[in-house]
Amino acid sequence: MVTSAHRMGVALLGATGSIGTSALRVLERQRDRFAAVALTANGNQQALAQLEDIWSPAYLGLVQEDVEAPAHWGRGPTSLVAAATHPDVQVVINAVVGAAGLDATLAALRAGKRVALANKETLVMAGHLVTKAATQFGGALVPVDSEHSAILQCLAGRRPDEVRRLVLTASGGPFRSWSAERIAEATVADALKHPTWQMGSKITIDSATLANKALEVIEAHHLFGVPYDRIDVVVHPQSIIHSFVEFVDGSVLAQMGVPSMELPILYALTWPERVPDSGVPSYDPVAQGALTFEAVRHDAFPMLQLGIEAGRLGGAAPAVYNAANEAAVARFLDGRLRFAGIARCVASALETLADRPGHTLDELQAADQAARLHVQDHPGE
């Protein structure tokens, strides 16, 4: 596909996933502004071949190497970097799940591209390296996560010293009102029933444990430079208010809208501009009815506090938290760990590995690997 001069070239990493599919709907409606130049998938060759027919992108990449694929496609984990640094690409939507997205985020930022980041694990694992790359090479890091998009919209260029507090909202997940005893025995099917969002399985489990909110607190810390003691979480089951910013004079701004990832995806592409046709229906306050708020039940959801503490510790601790969580969630989804075992494995990994150094990418990757091994070998009880 030839990218016409006035259209921005987009690389979409994780094009076959939940965010990837929403992003393609956004690109479809914004065809006069954006062109899909590069698309990648992990192992779903058929789905990627269908996208090639529809979009005719210049570059396709399939990460899994043991799957058959057309000879002209890029192959292996390096195909993510090749897509992200393609010369016709100006914006990279990173919608890969997990630490696997890190190299591509760094490579895109170092090539001066805008990264529209859904892949929050990247920022959690290597926050200082990613934020440094975002400022050094003329690129930009713009969040896709709805909470961070909300905060970005509320901040609207205000200075950090005008901000008193960020308040991230959390739906509370499927176990919001369950007892801790019942949560401990929750099945995979129970945990995959998210009340307000349709998402990939890993983030859906993270929403059930509230690990997702811990990842988001760390993400907010790095994106907006706000210390941890000025980032709060409140449960808001309707997912209409996507987050709040409280300013030093006590004024509180919220960003609202019906739950849809298409608006934050579009905003990450066009920020700081707003353009028509996000695909999001109007918010009707009367039809929606009451908006409610609750405190987080930390006793029932230990993963939130564990993650925030890892963030405060810094060094390799957030990378350990993230990798241990990824490994534990995979074990839970495989039926090899009880729901309560996720927090046990992650707490144990942090006890053993949190004080490892985390200055360089090598150190962070070593901590990530050690945490995955730790969880594999953990009894889970």
Structure-block tokens of residue 266: 């579009």
Distance CA 377, CA 76 (A): 27
For residue 249, what are its two tokens?
Answer: 């004079």
Q: How far is the CB of 9 from ligand NAD (least distance, A)?
A: 19
Q: Does 211 bind ligand NAD (CB under 6 A)?
A: no
Binding marks (x or -) toward ligand NAD, 103..132, rule CB under 6 A?
---------------xxxx-----------
According to DSSP, the residues that pair with 243 across neighbouring strands are 168, 255
Residue 219 partner contact from Mg ion, ligand NAD, none using kind-dependent CB cut-offs of 5 to 8 Å:
none
In the complex, minimum distance from the CB of residue 370 to ligand NAD, in angstroms, rounded to a whole number: 19
Site string for ligand NAD, 42-71 (x = CB under 6 A): x-x------------------x--------
Q: Does 200 bind ligand NAD (CB under 6 A)?
A: yes
Which lies closer to ligand NAD via its Cβ, residue 233 or residue 261? 261
List the one residue out of 348, 248, 329, 339 whose CA is nearest residue 300: 339
Residue 119 interaction partner, one of ligand NAD, Mg ion, none, beta carbon < 5-8 Å per kind: ligand NAD
- Cα–Cα dist 354/314, whole Å: 9
Could you tell me the smallest distance in angstroms from the CB atom of residue 144 to Mg ion?
A: 9
Binding-site partner at residue 41 among ligand NAD, Mg ion, none, CB < 5 to 8 Å by type: ligand NAD
Q: Give me the residue label for tokens 């496609």.
A: 73
* Region from 107-115, 194-202, 222-230, 359-367 binding ligand NAD, contact rule CB under 6 A: 194-202
Contact (CB, 8 A) for 167 and 246: yes
CB-closest chain residue to ligand NAD: 17
Q: How far apart are CA 263 and CA 302, in angstroms?
A: 31
Cα–Cα distance, 337 to 346 (Å, whole number) = 12
Is residue 375 a contact partner of residue 331, using CB atoms and an 8 Å limit?
yes
Question: In the bound complex, what is the minimum distance in angstroms from residue 116's beta carbon to Mg ion?
Answer: 14
Within residues 234-293, the interface with ligand NAD by CB under 6 A covers 261
Confirm or reject binding of residue 121 to Mg ion (CB under 5 A).
Answer: no
- In whole angstroms, what is the distance from residue 242 CA to residue 240 CA? 6
Q: Which x/- pattern, by CB under 5 A, does the window 137-166 give for Mg ion?
A: --------xxx-------------------
Site string for ligand NAD, 130-149 (x = CB under 6 A): ---------------x----
CA distances (Å), origin 214, targets 124, 175, 301, 311: 9, 16, 11, 8
Residues facing residue 209 across a β-bridge? none
Interaction site with ligand NAD (CB under 6 A): 14-20, 41-42, 44, 63, 80, 95-97, 100, 118-121, 145, 197, 199-200, 203, 261
Binding site for Mg ion (CB under 5 A): 145-147
